[in-house]
Amino acid sequence: MSAANRLAQLDNLEANDLCTKTSMALDALLDIMNQETMLLRAGHLKEAGVLTPKKSQMSQDYVTLARAVKREATRLKAQAPLAIEKLKIKHESLATQMADNLRVLATSRNVTQDLLSDVAKSVGNSQKPKTYNTGGIISTQNNAPIKGLSIDRAL
């Protein structure tokens, strides 16, 4: 089935059915974002990373449905005004949840980068030569950052 046919099917759904389907997709997206946020707050980065493909798919599903709702807004407001109002309220909660999720993601990333930087500095400091120069002072000529430390930034 082509993308145009799938979109036409969504546009032709009964008003309440389209709103219900969109609401269910939004609930699933909110749930997985909440799971990810909780895992990140607890420091379980790997477990949170496992949710990423599922979250991406749910986001894509919701956006597709939300666009169908937008295209059919006039009809939906006339045929299912209460369902549209509930959907609008849920959509506003998505913005709040997304902001919280992004804040936690940014914090996790900053903490991880700080830890990795501290490790790199520590390793670099241990690699500095501990020899005396001609004046009897420990040499500080090798201030170059450590080379050869690799960091996996997948998260």
pLDDT for residue 115: 73
Q: Nearest-CA neighbor of 70 among 34, 106, 22?
A: 22
Bridge partners of residue 132, in order along the sequence:
138
Confirm whether pTM is higher than 0.75.
no
Task: Please write the tens of the pLDDT for every residue from 126-138.
Answer: 555 666 667 767 6
Q: Nearest-CA neighbor of 69 among 17, 25, 18, 21?
A: 18
Task: Please write the tens of the pLDDT for every residue from 20-61.
Answer: 999 999 999 999 999 999 998 888 888 988 999 999 999 999
Kindly state the percentage of the chain with pLDDT values over 70. 77
Residue 155 and residue 40: Cα distance in Å, rounded?
A: 11
- For residue 145, which phi and psi values (nearest 5 degrees)? -65, 155
Residues 6+ apart with CB under 8 A from 21: 13, 65
Bridge partners of residue 138, in order along the sequence:
132
